[in-house]
Chains A and B, each alone.
Chain A
Amino acid sequence: MSTIRPYVALVLAFWLAAALQQSLGHRVMLAGGSFDFLLVVALSASVMCRPVVAAVLGFVAGVLLGGVTGSDTANFVVSRTLVAYAAGYVSLLDLEVRPWYVALVVIAGTAVSMVLMMIPAPPPEVWPYLRYTIVSAVYNGVLAIPVYAVLRRSLRPKVN
């Protein structure tokens, strides 16, 4: 039972995040930024997983986001997979993960993934896009703190 629980928790978390992304993603715009619920879940879980598992989580987040938005699946998958893979290295570090570490990881991960998204499809105006990236990264970082708290209770022991 205890081995299934983390997977069930992750499925539920991704499912809810995808629903939130579809229903609220475009609606919650604050100061020009918005939440990426799927990326927050993927990165918050990734810091508790080995890099390879984290990459799978990033892959799932990318596929779900591509499915919800109906476009750009390849870009979403690649950017999220790479960022989550990198976030997975946090679990290998010999340190006690605190919520604000996770917030920093999510902020950095959001920023990197959005910069990666720029490469295949450069935006017409770079500065507004970067501003949107920074604001959204901060929002995701803040959102990651409660999400990480919830996921940590569900995923311990680590999904290996």
Chain B
Amino acid sequence: MSYNAAKDLEYIEEQLCFYLLVLGLDGSELRGYTIDEIINKARLLTPLPIKEYEEKDDKDPIYLYILNQRVSLIGNIRRLWYFRQLALGAFTYGI
């Protein structure tokens, strides 16, 4: 069996829909959102005074917790979005 872009895309979009729901967006409208809209919504969910805190040697644990939640949330969305573009791209090559 060769690469199945439809199956791959189905899995990726299911995961992305979960993240949209986490952000309070409509998971069934995935194809209507831009990556800018999704990432900006994720940033709003984890607001942080990053510049102010990054200069401190002794960082507040709550700051570190939220920072890592933010990095994780945005990182996973970006990666899934990239994988989705690759799967959609495979379709253009008839896979």
Q: Do the two chains belong together in a single complex?
A: no
A interface residues with partner B (beta carbon < 8 Å): none
